[in-house]
Amino acid sequence: MADQVYQVVSARTASDPAEGFSWRGAWHAPLTQAWLLLGPAMLIYAVFALYPMVDTFVLSFQTWNGLTPHRGFAGLDNYAFIFNDDPVFWLALRNTVIWTFLAVSIPPLIGFGLALAVNQQIPGRNAMRAIFYLPVILAPIAVATMWKWMYDPFFGLFNQLLTSAGLQGLIKDWLGDRQVALYSVFGAYVWQHVGFSMVLFLAGLQGVNQTLVEAARIDGANRYQVFQHVTLPAMSTSITIVLVLSLIQSLKAFDIVYGMTLGGPAQSTQMLALWAFTQSMQIHDFGRGSAVAVVLLLITLAIVVPYMLWRMKREEGQG
């Protein structure tokens, strides 16, 4: 009996579409399945990313203290203020530019070196890969706390080490000195992020065609030339991914700075993302805070989009 029912249902499912609409057929349609699978992700993305993004853009043309229901229209006043009358904005922009430049060059370079090293047949390389990647999975606020202790001018690790090594002349108030605070915070950032670059580069290195390496060796290439003509071109996708992700991460640097210095001393570690937060959440001027956030978004897009287009064009050009 059950077999008969099954046969009837199967026959209908497999039947000609001319027979009409069937719920079962519609449920199994690829389009329905696609929407069902994408739906939850799209909903979450819309509520937690798309809506805030649009609302931030709208807010940047309004005045709002975050408490009252009323939002006033401000036109371009918020932008005029941050560009003309807000010295901290320019300081934050300068710091963000320096930070971004360092973040897209130093951690990827160290990450590339580490990837090359742990890609060799050396004992304990799996353990080393895990150790170098470990900081990536730590919460930035935990990293900030840890490094704050290590930077402590009296009891911190670095000054203790310098004292033990007889290098008292190099002792500094790492997070309290305006000249070095930004770079001190960046040190912690590097420690946390090299593992991220390393893993992506390692994946790229493992995708390098060994036959091409051998062909190059037979063609007469030395180690550097093999690296230049085989390894680097094969890594171009990995390099693009690392650079773009490092750029985006560094432009929105917030938590580690917040956790270590709160932007101080004297705004010397202030960043655009942190300043957008401070304007909104602490000064309660959501309009200006949003204007800073929009500027940050535009800077990100202005760098990332042309770079991606250039890469795509270059890759297409190669066939």
Partner 1 sequence: MASVHIQNARKTFGDSTVLHDVSVDMDDGSFVVLVGPSGCGKSTLLRMIAGLETISGGDISIGGKSVNRLAPKDRDIAMVFQSYALYPQMTVAQNMGFSLELIGAKKPEIATKVEHAAKILGLEPLLSRYPRQLSGGQRQRVAMGRAIVRDPKVFLFDEPLSNLDAKLRVQMRAEIKALQKRLGTTTIYVTHDQIEAMTMADKIVVMRDGKVEQIGAPLDLYDRPANTFVASFIGSPSMNFIEGVVANDGKTFFAGAEKLGIPIPLCPAQAVGKAVLLGVRPEHIVIDREAGVPAEVWVVEPTGAETHLVVSLGGAQVTCVLKERISLQEGQTVPLAFDASLCHFFDPQTTLRLV
8 Å CB contact between 292 and 82: yes
Placement of tokens 């760098």 in the chain:
303
Token pair, residue 187, equals 């040190």
**Which range of residues in 69-77, 150-158, 215-223, 277-285 is near partner 1 by CB under 8 A?**
215-223
Q: Per-residue DSSP letters for 94-155?
A: HHHHHHHHHHHHHHHHHHHHHHHHHTSS-TTHHHHHHHHHGGGGS-HHHHHHHHHHHH-TTT
Q: CA torsion sign, 249 to 103 to 138 to 289?
A: negative
55 scored as a contact of partner 1 (CB under 8 A): no
Please say which residue, 232 or 301, places its beta carbon nearer to partner 1.
Answer: 232
Please say which residue, 70 or 313, places its beta carbon nearer to partner 1.
Answer: 313
**For residue 223, what are the contacts with CB-CB under 8 A and spacing of at least 6?**
none
Among 217, 227, 241, 303, binds partner 1 (CB under 8 A): 217
Please say which residue, 74 or 216, places its beta carbon nearer to partner 1.
Answer: 216
Q: How far is the CB of 215 from partner 1 (least distance, A)?
A: 4
Please say which residue, 71 or 229, places its beta carbon nearer to partner 1.
Answer: 229
Please say which residue, 203 or 213, places its beta carbon nearer to partner 1.
Answer: 213
Please say which residue, 22 or 236, places its beta carbon nearer to partner 1.
Answer: 236
**Which range of residues in 79-87, 207-215, 271-279, 292-300 is near partner 1 by CB under 8 A?**
207-215
**For residue 75, what are the contacts with CB-CB under 8 A and spacing of at least 6?**
61
228 scored as a contact of partner 1 (CB under 8 A): no
| Per-residue binding letters, 90-129, with partner 1 (x by CB under 8 A) | ----------------------------------------
Please say which residue, 172 or 229, places its beta carbon nearer to partner 1.
Answer: 229
**For residue 22, what are the contacts with CB-CB under 8 A and spacing of at least 6?**
12, 13
Among 14, 18, 122, 218, binds partner 1 (CB under 8 A): 218
> CA 161, CA 150: separation in Å to the nearest integer?
10
**For residue 50, what are the contacts with CB-CB under 8 A and spacing of at least 6?**
none
Q: How far is the CB of 314 from partner 1 (least distance, A)?
A: 9
8 Å CB contact between 91 and 267: yes
Among 171, 229, 240, 311, binds partner 1 (CB under 8 A): 229
**Which range of residues in 166-174, 194-202, 218-226, 256-264 is near partner 1 by CB under 8 A?**
218-226
Q: Note the Cα 255 to chain centre separation in Å.
A: 12
Q: How far is the CB of 312 from partner 1 (least distance, A)?
A: 15
219 scored as a contact of partner 1 (CB under 8 A): yes
- How buried is 43 (Cβ within 10 angstroms: 0-12 exposed, 13-18 middle, 19+ buried)? exposed
Q: How far is the CB of 219 from partner 1 (least distance, A)?
A: 4
Contacting residues toward partner 1, per CB under 8 A:
209, 211-212, 214-221, 225, 229-230, 233, 318-319
